[in-house]
Structure 1
Amino acid sequence: MRGTDERTGSLFSYVDLEARVRSDHPLRPIRALVKEALAGLERDFAALYSSVGRPSIPPERLLRAMLLQAFYSIRSERQLMERLDFDLLFRWFVGLGIDDPTWDHSIFSKNRDRLLEGDIAARFLSAVLAQPRVKRLLSSEHFSVDGTLIEAWASMKSFKPKDGSGPPGDPPSSGGRNAEADFRGEKRSNETHASTTDPDARLYRKGPGMEAKLAFLGHALMENRSGLLVDACLTRVSGHAERIAALAMIEAHADRPRPITLGADRGYDAEDFVNELRSMNVRPHVAQNLARRRGGSAIDRRTTRHPGYAASQRIRKRIEEGFGWMKAVAGLDRPKLRGVDRVGWAFTFAAAAYNLVRLPKLLAGAT
C-alpha cells in the first residue's frame, strides 16, 4: 500500500532530545568536557552579572552555542540562530528544550560581548586543560611556540593618513560606498597612516615579495606530548611581537627546578630572545637562522648536539595544525570582529575549541 504524502500535526509532542542524539555521537564527550569546564567558571560568570534585573541568556549557553559556531564553520550569529531553531542536535548541545524559543541574533551578540569584560576565553581554555583526565595528557617540560597572521576585518581603502589629508587623485565623493582607488606611487606606513575601520590593525608584510595587509598577530604555546594549545594571545603586529609574546607565555611554565625546552622556528633566532630564555631556565630549541648576515645564529653546537633539539624541531611544526584548523574551520582566517581585544578573545576561544575537538580521541587512546 502506498503511503500518503500528507502531513498531519499532532496535539502533543514527546520528543526526548537526549534519545535523539546517538550514544556514540562525537559531540557527547565534548559536551561532558565543556560541562565540567563551565562548572569551574561559576564565580567568574557571577562577577559579570548584576543580582537584579531581567534574566539574560545564561553564559553557559552562550559559550556552548559559540563552540558550535566554531565546530560547524557557521559564518554569522544570524545563521547560528537559524540553525539553532531547527537543529535538534544543536538544541541538545546548547541546552535548549524542543519548545524553547531561540534568541534574536542581535540580543545574542550583545550578551556575548559581555563575556569580553571578564576574559572568559582565556579562563575557559585553562578550565578545559585543568581537568584531571586532561592534565595527564599534557607535558610540563617540553613546549613549542609560533605566531600566525590574522587578517583584520578592514579594507585597505580604510588605511588613510592620520592627519586627515587624502592622497592626490582621490575619487570624487559621488563614487559610492566602494569607490575606486589607485594606490600606485603612494607611500604608506603605520607611522603616517591608520585604518579608519579598525584603528588597532597594522599594515604588515609576512615576507619579502608578499603583499602587505591590515592584520594582527596571533600567538600560541603548545605542549609537545599531545600537541594541545596551552596558551594563546593576540597582539598588534611588530618586528618583535612574536618574541615578546613567547616570553610572556612561557614564563608561567618556567618556574620549575628542572629546565624546560621551547621549540620555535628561525624567526625566533635572536640573541636577546635566546639569552632571556636561558635566564628563565628554558632551553632554547630554536631553529638556526644561518642566512643571517650579522653575527650568525644565536643557537650554537652546545644546543643542537642534543637529541632533544632534533625532537623539538620535528614536533614544533604540529602547532601549524592548530592554526590551520582555527583559520579554515573556526573562521579565524579573517574574523568578522574589530579591535585587538575582540579579535584576541575570538582567537583564544578558537584555541580552546581546537583542543576540545582533539581531546575525545586523545582521552580514548589514553585509557
Structure 2
Amino acid sequence: MMGRQATKRELFVSVSLDEYVPGDHLLRAVDRYLDLSEFRSNLAGSYSHTGRPSIDPELMARMLIIGYCYGIRSERRLCEEVGMNLAYRWFCRLGLKDKVPDHSSFSKNRHGRFRDHDAFRQLFDSVLRRCMAEGLVQGEGFATDASMIKADAQRHRSCPGDVGIDWGDAEQASRPVREYLTALEQANPIPPVPKRISLTDPASTWTAAAGPAIFAYSTNYLIDLKAGLIVDVEASAVNKMAEVEATKIMIDRVEEKFAIKPQRLVGDTNYGVAAMLGWLVDEKGIVPHVPVWDKSEHHDGTFSRSDFIFDVENNQYVCPAGKHLRPPRSAQAKTPLRYRASVYDCQVCELKPKCCPNMVARKIDRSPQEPARDIARAIGKTEAYRVSRRERKKVEMLFAHLKRILKLGQLRLRGPSGAHDEFLLAATAQNLRRMAKKLFMPKREAELAMS
C-alpha cells in the first residue's frame, strides 16, 4: 500500500536552532573562536546614547563573515540566505521570527562608522590575536606575496592617462574619485602618468600582467609559515615597487602591534631588489630567503660580474687577469658606484675579447646594498633556502583559496578604501576557517571517536 504524507499544521512549535546545526558545521567552529566584544566597543563612540536602537553592529559583522566564508558576494543575496538558512540564523543569533537587516544598511555602515573607526582592521587584529593565543603563530618565518584582483571598473569607462580630465567639483564627485584626487594632492613625488585611467575607479591600475589588460588592485599577504595564517594584509597598486613597499608596511605594522619580527622572510624575485634586501638585512636584521634580482650575469660567453673578486679592504674589484677596477675618487658610499678598469690595462689584455669586446675598458656597477645581496646569494645555495621555497607555496594556496572558494576574483567595492575593506574581511574569513580546521575539527573527530 502506497503511503501518503499527512501535513500537520501545528499552531505552536518550540524550536531550538541549536538542534538543527550539525556539531561539525564550519560555523560552529568559527563561532567558538570569534570574539566581537572589541569590535563592538570600538564602535561604541559613534552611536548616540538616546534615540531608537540601531541594528546591532555585531549582527552585521557576523553576516559579513558568513558572506566571505561562503563566497556570497552580493549583500542582497546574503540577506536572503541568512533569512532562509537555519545555521546562518544560529550563527547571527537570530531567532526564527527575527527580522534580517536590509541590504542597504551594510552600505551605510560600511562607508560610514565602520570605515571611520577602521573596524575591519580591528576585527582582523582580534582574530589574529586569538590565533596567537592558540599557538598557531610561531613568528620564526614569514612569507610574502601579492595577487592581482580585478577592480569594479570597465574599459569603456576609461580614457588615456595623458588626456586632461575634468573631474568637476571634488565635493560632488563619487567617493573613489575623491579618494583619488586627495591621494594626488598628498603624493610626493607625483606618480607617473598611467597609460589609462578609469573614470569610475581612477586609483585602480591598468595592467596586462595576467592576460588582456584590466583595471585591478593587488592584495598583499604576509603569512606565518607555521600554520599558513595571515598576519597582515595590505591593498596596493599593481606594480613591483608598490608591492615591495606594502611588504615593508606590513612587517613594520606587525612588529609594532604584536611585537613579532621574523627571523627570515621568504619571497619571490619581486622582493629581491637591492633596496628591499638592504632594508631587510641592514635595518630589520631579517634573513632574506629571496632570490636576488640580478641582471649582471652574462650568457654570451663573456665574463659576468661574479667572475670578478671584490676586495673589501681596498674597495676594488680584481678581474680574472689580476688587474684592478676602482671607483671614482669623489664617489659617495650611499650611491651606486661604477668601478672602472684602466684603459691601458684592458687594451693589452689577452682576455679582452671575453671581458669587454665592445668597450674600451671594463666597467662594473656596484649597489650600496651589495653586501646584503651577497648574503641573499649565499643563502640561496643552502638547504634551508630550498625548504623555504617549498613553504612559500602556502601563500599561493591562500590566493587560490581566495579566488576559487571565497569567489574574490573581482572587487565589488571601489577605491583604495573599498579594496582595503574587502581584502581585510576576506583575510579574516580565511584565518577563521584555518583556525577552525586546525583546532576545532580534530577535537570534534576525537570526541566522535570516543563516543
Q: TM class by shorter-chain length?
A: 0.7 to 0.9
So what's the TM-score if we normalise by structure 1? Answer: 0.84
1:229 aligns with 2:230: yes
User: In 2 relative to 1, CA 106–360 (structure 1 residues): closer, same or farther, beyond 3 Å?
Assistant: same
Q: Against the structure 1 CA distance between its residues 292 and 58, is the aligned structure 2 distance closer, same or farther, given a 3 Å change threshold?
A: farther
How do residues 94-105 of structure 1 correspond to structure 2 at under 5 angstroms? Answer: 94-105=92-103
CA separation in 2, counterparts of 1:366 and 1:220?
Answer: 27
Could you report, residue by residue, the CA deviation over 1:146-170 in whole angstroms, capped at 9, with x for unpaired residues? 11111110101111144259xxxxx
Aligned to 1:20: 20
Q: Distance in 1 between matches of 2:383 and 2:422?
A: 37
- 2: CA distance, partners of 1:66 / 1:258: 31
Query: 1:218 maps to what in 2?
Result: 219
Cα distance 1:56–1:258, how it changes in 2: closer, same or farther (>3 A)? closer
More deviation, 46-55/135-144: 46-55
Contact kept, 8 Å, 2:240 with 2:270, in 1: the verdict is no
Aligned pairs for 1:233-312 within 5 A: 233-253=234-254, 260-278=263-281, 279-289=283-293, 298=373, 300-312=376-388
Counterpart residue identity of residue 145, structure 1: T
Contact 1:62 1:112 in 2 (8 A): no
1:28 and 1:258 map into 2 onto residues whose CA distance is 33
Equivalent-residue separation in structure 2 for 1:88 and 1:54 (angstroms): 28
Gaps of 5+ in 2: 167-191, 298-364, 444-451
* Alignment match of 2:422 (pick from 346, 349, 355): 346
Partner-residue secondary structure (3-state), 2:392: helix
**In the alignment, is residue 334 of structure 1 matched against residue 410 of structure 2?**
yes
After TM superposition, the structure 1 = structure 2 runs for residues 1-367 of structure 1, keeping only pairs within 5 Å, are 2-5=2-5, 7-34=7-34, 36=35, 38-114=36-112, 115-131=114-130, 134-161=133-160, 162-164=163-165, 190-191=193-194, 193-206=196-209, 210-253=211-254, 260-278=263-281, 279-289=283-293, 298=373, 300-364=376-440
Shift of 1:23: 2.1
Q: CA deviation at 1:97?
A: 0.6
SS, match of residue 131 in structure 1: helix
TM-fit CA distance, 1:6: 5.5
2: CA distance between counterparts of 1:82 and 1:222? 34
- After TM superposition, give the deviation of residue 124 of structure 1 in Å: 1.2
- What's the TM-score, normalizing by structure 2? 0.69
Give the drift of 1:231: 0.3
1: CA distance between counterparts of 2:220 and 2:260? Answer: 26
Equivalents in 2 of 1:242, 1:117: separation in Å? 25
Out of 341-350 and 127-136, give the one that drifted further.
Answer: 127-136
Amino acid at match of 2:410: R
Equivalent pairs counted in the alignment come to 340
Change (3 A) 1:47 1:307: farther
The 8 Å contact of residues 254 and 282 in structure 1, kept in 2 or not, is answered as no
Change (3 A) 1:269 1:133: closer
Quick one: distance in 1 between partners of 2:97 and 2:288?
56
1:280 maps to a residue whose letter is K
> Which letter does structure 2 place at the counterpart of 1:242?
E
Paired AA for residue 387 in structure 2: A
Q: What letter matches 1:234 in structure 2?
A: A
In structure 2, the CA distance between the partners of 1:312 and 1:232, relative to structure 1 (3 Å rule), is same
Q: Which moved more, 1:301-310 or 1:355-364?
A: 301-310
2: distance between equivalents of 1:258 and 1:79? 41
* 1:244-273 C-alpha deviation (Å, 9 max, x unpaired): 011111124557798711100011110011
Q: In 2, are the aligned partners of 1:70 and 1:329 still within 8 Å (CA)? A: no
Structure 1 gaps, min length 5 = 166-188
Deviation at 1:78, TM superposition (A): 1.2
Return the offset for 1:219: 0.5
> Partner letter of residue 16 of structure 2?
D
Would you say the 8 A contact 2:267–2:289 is kept in 1? Answer: yes
Please, what is the CA RMSD of the aligned residues?
2.7
Amino acid at match of 2:215: L
In structure 2, do the counterparts of structure 1 residues 226 and 160 end up closer, same or farther at CA, with 3 Å as the change threshold? Answer: same
Name the larger-Rg structure. Answer: 2
Q: 2: distance between equivalents of 1:56 and 1:190?
A: 45
Are the structure 2 counterparts of residues 252 and 200 from structure 1 closer, same or farther at C-alpha, using a change threshold of 3 Å?
closer
Amino acid at match of 2:156: K
Over 3 Å counting, the alpha-carbon distance change for 1:292 and 1:320 in structure 2 is: farther
Whether contact under 8 Å (1:134, 1:363) holds in the other structure is: no
Q: Mean Cα displacement is larger for which, 48-57 or 115-124?
A: 48-57
Partner deviation per Cα, 1:79-135 (whole Å, 9 max, x = no partner): 111111111111001111111011222233323433222212221111112127644
| Distance of 2:121 and 2:202 partners within structure 1 | 24
Kept after mapping to 2: 8 A contact 1:203/1:215: yes
* Offset at residue 358 of structure 1 (A): 1.3
